[in-house]
Amino acid sequence: MKAVVTVTGTDRKGIIAQVSAFLSEKNINILDISQTIMRDRFAMIMVVDASECTEDLASLASSAAEMGKDIGMSVRVQHEDIFQAMHRV
């Protein structure tokens, strides 16, 4: 299963490393990543392969949100189909 991970918040050192480590612990592979910094705001979108994830998607989304709070960022995980449907023009 593919999922989309979005990370937003105030830029600082180590964000990508912390999010990547979290995903690795859950046995999730990053397939594609895009990140940008606009002034002091950090935004990142990742497409990940969660087919070997150690949690179901709902649990993963919840634990990612908690991890995001711990590092001062907003972290959301959505099934790729839901993300695509929400962002279709």
User: What local confidence, expressed as pLDDT, does residue 87 receive?
Assistant: 58
User: What local confidence, expressed as pLDDT, does residue 54 receive?
Assistant: 85
Domains of the chain: 2-86 (3.30.70.260)
Range 9-15, long-range pairs (CB < 8 A, 24+ positions): 9/41, 9/42, 9/68, 9/72, 9/73, 9/74, 10/40, 10/41, 10/42, 10/72, 11/37, 11/40, 11/41, 11/42, 12/42, 12/72, 15/42, 15/44, 15/71, 15/73
Q: What is the pLDDT along the chain (89 residues), one digit of tens a residue?
A: 899 999 999 999 999 999 999 999 999 999 999 999 999 999 999 999 999 998 999 999 999 999 999 999 999 999 866 656 565 55
Which neighbouring-strand residues pair with 78? Answer: 4
- CA angle in degrees (0–180, nearest 5) for 62-78-29: 90
